[in-house]
Amino acid sequence: MPDTPIKLTSFSHGGGCGCKIAPGVLAEILKNSAGFPVPKELMVGIETADDAAVYKLNDEQALIATTDFFMPIVDDAYDFGRIAATNAISDVYAMGGTPIMALALVGMPVNKLPLETIGQIIRGGEAICAEAGIPIAGGHTIDSVEPIYGLVVLGLVHPSKVKRNAGARAGDVLILGKPLGVGVLSAALKKNVLGEDGYAAMIANTTKLNKPGKALAEMDGVHALTDVTGFGLAGHLLELARGARLGAHLEMAAIPLLPGVEQLAHDGYITGASGRNWDAYGKDVTLAATVTPAQQALLSDPQTSGGLLVSCDPASVDEVLALFARDGFGQAAVIGTMQAGQARVTVA
């Protein structure tokens, strides 16, 4: 693990996508929001809590717009910047698009953090944007009580290739591109019990760009696409189920996990966000008696820069898995199915 003299996580009350306002609280905040005129060009807005907005420019191009930012999930400044940038860019891939540029969002306690540390955060973000092939073309900075970093990301997609989180069909197979457990590892890190191997696994997972999204969008057999972030696997799968008005079934034993996270969850290394997530939507999740409390916590574990969640025709499963494997996502796995019925998640 990097030897960092300044503990970035000590400046923030939460970290990564665990900073998200809990889904139940968010729904309460937004329930009385006034309606507004929606132009016909707006292909995707807020109606199904999708990953990004999509605006049709012409018959060949639609603009994807998204933003994401949070407080530190790790103490190493460069790694924090990389994680935040990877997480922000993911939403463009989750819509099936190609990122084209980014704007940086930077809020820092400038009287408490060395300027070199702030520079390392920004350079970490620049490194990931370079890997994605996009420039950081501008941004905005403020003096903030807590360190905050993220991006506004713009992308392009053909209007006919947009992959929403609401297009799943009964009989579809669910495939998850990255293993779960980032929130658990972050909780262990804050308690100083995460070893070097665990830290390395965490960084590798959270800085891996979800580039398969664009190729997945080209496949007719892929019906819905999203990424798993702050609301956990169960929360984002519920959004997919509600959008399609279908039920979702998960096989707990099939869900890929980061090394050691089930034992860490069993030992109590769980984020507060995991509990808040479950309080918000646990009533819409049915667990088999064999599902342990640690496994339940992993279902609601907030994933920072998590994996793509694909709902596809059974005939496309091998092609989807081969695509993930080709791009280095060797732990991508079939985890369940979509079924006719009430919009809820069942876990066996």
17-47 pLDDT, tens digit per residue, is: 555 566 666 666 566 665 667 789 999 888 7
Residue pointed to by tokens 């049915």 = 286
- Give the E-state strand segments of the chain in sequence order: 42-44, 53-56, 62-70, 98-108, 136-143, 148-157, 173-176, 222-227, 247-250, 285-287, 308-312, 333-339, 345-347
Q: How far apart are CA 163 and CA 96, in angstroms?
A: 6
The values of phi and psi at residue 279, to 5°, are: -60, -30
> Cβ-count burial of 116 within 10 angstroms (0-12 exposed, 13-18 middle, 19+ buried)?
exposed
Query: Within the chain, which residues score under 70 in pLDDT?
Result: 1-5, 14-36
Q: How confident is the model at residue 221, as a pLDDT?
A: 97
Q: How confident is the model at residue 37, as a pLDDT?
A: 74
Give the H or E element holding residue 24.
helix 23-30
Q: How far apart are CA 213 and CA 305, in angstroms?
A: 14
Residue pointed to by tokens 């088999």 = 288
Q: How confident is the model at residue 46, as a pLDDT?
A: 80
Q: How far apart are CA 5 and CA 116, in angstroms?
A: 12
Q: How confident is the model at residue 16, as a pLDDT?
A: 57
- Cα of first residue to Cα of last residue in the chain, in angstroms, is 36
Q: What is the DSSP letter of 220?
A: T
17 among known catalytic residues: yes
Q: How confident is the model at residue 34, as a pLDDT?
A: 58
Q: How confident is the model at residue 18, as a pLDDT?
A: 57
Q: How confident is the model at residue 33, as a pLDDT?
A: 65
Q: How far apart are CA 311 and CA 242, in angstroms?
A: 13
Nearest CA to 179 among 162, 202, 196, 146?
202
Q: How confident is the model at residue 39, as a pLDDT?
A: 86
